[in-house]
């Protein structure tokens, strides 16, 4: 019998025998598995930082929400809007309106230093001054402990991420902002989004404390529909009283996370690549040793009529099985060690700290397995070719 079916049967028979002999080479096989597991764990763990950071920044973004900044500004911290400009933008066509008024939230940002819980060193934290409309525009914000601040009073509410990351933010504690002391009256969540890294207070009280007059830095608006954005942005551009630009909230937040995401992804890939190179050589060494130990056996198979293809396939199959075992182990370790781990890092667009959780996603695990497969393939390819090219007569003479 010959043909593809015969070749497949030969490959299955040789591969079954090859995999069954792995316990006899447990030490070298474990070296490959653990080496690849280390590569995958580092890769997945590092990339989970970027994924978690980006999701924290972009999670609350809605397709029907836009942010308005001063023309030329690329972040809220360098933007400026007067109270009149905020009101004119809120009256623009395309803004959703309710019985309580337009869904437009003028917001003031102040960067303050607060000590971290873990190190005691100061870090930049955003204090966001908002009005009542902010809670209607950002409907994901929920008070989970205490109460909301009262308008006009020196009271703040603290995001869950900030409360866990910095000292002095428990309910009832007092902190100094500007020239006054403020009382923490509540904690809030925002579906794990960027705002959980902030402190919120009444905009008028914050303007007074920092002598900002009737000014803001951004305006967040909920539109009638995602399709209304173009008309809304065009109307702002035609208004001679305004020098502003409108951005979709999704695009704005994605840009805010770009620098950190690219940095983490680049460094993670570089480190994993260097480790992966070492893992390839480890796999090469192991598979060459396996081929050398089975030289006579493979020559005997060739003499009995087994083709080169099944021999090559069996060596590659063994390498891939070891690699996938290492990839699965590394992915599992990364998930156990990193998924949900909370920390904070600098957002280089706003120069403030962002609290977030590492996220080991199915996509990252699949990426880790893909890396493991590539390492296993490269580690098994050359030993497999060597096994296929081995002369039958020379192989039979091996002791």
In a domain, 296, yes or no: yes
Q: What is the per-residue pLDDT for 66?
A: 95
pLDDT in tens, the chain (399 residues): 455 655 566 566 666 766 666 676 677 778 888 888 888 888 888 888 888 877 777 777 788 999 999 998 888 888 999 999 999 999 999 999 999 899 999 999 999 999 988 888 888 899 999 999 999 999 889 999 999 999 989 999 999 989 988 999 999 999 998 888 999 999 999 988 888 989 999 999 999 999 998 999 999 999 999 999 999 999 999 999 999 999 998 888 877 777 777 877 787 778 777 877 777 777 777 766 666 656 666 666 666 566 666 666 777 777 788 889 989 999 999 999 989 888 777 666 665 667 778 889 999 999 999 988 888 888 777 777 776 676 655 545 555
Q: Do 119 and 45 share a structural domain? A: no
Residue 321 burial (CB count, 10 A): 18
Over its C-alpha atoms, the chain yields an Rg (Å, rounded) of: 30
Helix (H) or strand (E) holding 262: helix 258-293
Q: For residue range 298-327, what is the model confidence (pLDDT) as tens digits?
A: 666 666 566 666 666 777 777 788 889 989
Residue 186 burial (CB count, 10 A): 17
Q: How many domains does one find in the chain? A: 2
In a domain, 118, yes or no: yes
In a domain, 248, yes or no: no
Q: What is the per-residue pLDDT for 7?
A: 59
In a domain, 51, yes or no: yes
Q: Do 95 and 14 share a structural domain? A: no
**Contact present, 181 and 175 (Cβ < 8 Å):** yes
Q: Do 294 and 373 share a structural domain? A: yes
Domain boundary among 211, 242, 273: 242
Q: What is the per-residue pLDDT for 17?
A: 60
Q: Do 11 and 93 share a structural domain? A: no
Q: Do 315 and 228 share a structural domain? A: no
Domain boundary among 242, 271, 299: 242
In a domain, 64, yes or no: no
Size (the chain), residues = 399
Beta bridge partner(s), residue 245: 69
Q: Do 233 and 295 share a structural domain? A: no
Helix, coil or strand: residue 341: coil
Helix, coil or strand: residue 329: helix
Q: What is the per-residue pLDDT for 297?
A: 62
Q: Do 200 and 123 share a structural domain? A: yes
Q: Do 216 and 178 share a structural domain? A: yes
In a domain, 249, yes or no: no
In a domain, 67, yes or no: no
Domain boundary among 210, 242, 274: 242
Strands (E) across 223-347 are located at 244-248, 342-347
Q: Is the model's pTM score more than 0.85?
A: no
Which own/partner contact pairs does 365-368 have at CB distance under 8 Å and 24+ positions apart? 365/44, 365/331, 365/334, 365/335, 367/43, 367/44, 367/47, 368/40, 368/43, 368/44, 368/327, 368/330, 368/331, 368/334
Closest C-alpha among 96, 128, 99 to residue 111: 128
Q: Do 229 and 85 share a structural domain? A: yes
Q: Do 125 and 165 share a structural domain? A: yes
Q: Do 386 and 319 share a structural domain? A: yes
Buried b (16+ CB within 10 A) or exposed e, 139-177: eebeeeebebbeeeebbbbbbbbbbbbbeebeeeeebeb
Which residue range forms the structural domain that includes residue 142?
72-242
In a domain, 188, yes or no: yes
Q: Do 329 and 387 share a structural domain? A: yes
């Amino acid at each position: 019998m010959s043909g593809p079916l015969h070749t497949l049967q030969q490959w299955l028979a040789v591969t079954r025998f090859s995999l069954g002999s792995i316990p006899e080479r447990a030490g070298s096989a474990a070296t490959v598995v653990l080496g690849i597991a280390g590569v995958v764990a580092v890769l997945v763990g590092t990339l989970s930082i970027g994924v978690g950071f980006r999701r924290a920044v972009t999670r609350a973004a809605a397709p029907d929400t836009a942010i308005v900044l001063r023309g030329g500004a690329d972040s809220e911290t360098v933007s400026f809007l007067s109270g009149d400009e905020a009101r004119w933008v809120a009256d623009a066509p395309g803004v959703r309106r309710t019985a309580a008024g337009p869904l437009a939230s003028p917001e003031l940002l102040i960067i303050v230093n607060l000590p971290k819980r873990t190190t005691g060193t100061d870090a930049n934290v955003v204090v966001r001054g908002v009005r009542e409309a902010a809670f209607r525009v950002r409907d994901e914000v929920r008070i989970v402990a205490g109460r909301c601040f009262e308008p006009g009073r020196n009271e703040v509410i603290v995001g869950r991420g900030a409360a866990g990351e910095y000292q002095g933010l428990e309910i009832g504690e007092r902190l100094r902002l500007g020239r006054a002391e403020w009382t923490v009256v509540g904690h809030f969540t925002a579906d794990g989004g960027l705002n959980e890294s902030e402190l919120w207070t009444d905009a008028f009280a914050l303007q007074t404390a920092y002598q900002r007059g009737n000014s803001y830095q951004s305006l967040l608006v909920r539109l009638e529909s995602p399709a209304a954005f173009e008309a809304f942005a065009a109307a702002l551009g035609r208004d001679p009283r305004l020098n502003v630009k409108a951005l979709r909230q999704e695009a704005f937040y994605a840009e805010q996370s770009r620098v950190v995401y690219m940095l983490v992804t680049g460094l993670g890939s570089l480190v994993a690549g260097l480790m992966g190179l070492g893992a390839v050589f480890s796999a090469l060494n192991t598979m060459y040793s396996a081929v050398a130990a089975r030289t006579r056996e493979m020559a005997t198979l060739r003499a009995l009529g087994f083709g080169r293809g099944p021999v090559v396939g069996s060596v590659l199959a063994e390498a891939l099985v070891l690699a996938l075992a290492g990839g699965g182990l590394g992915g599992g370790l990364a998930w156990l060690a990193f998924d949900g781990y909370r920390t904070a890092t600098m957002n280089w667009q706003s120069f403030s700290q962002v609290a977030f959780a590492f996220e080991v996603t199915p996509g990252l695990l699949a990426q880790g397995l893909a890396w493991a497969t590539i390492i296993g393939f490269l580690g098994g390819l050359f030993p497999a070719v060597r096994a296929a090219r081995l002369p039958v007569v020379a192989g039979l003479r091996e002791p």
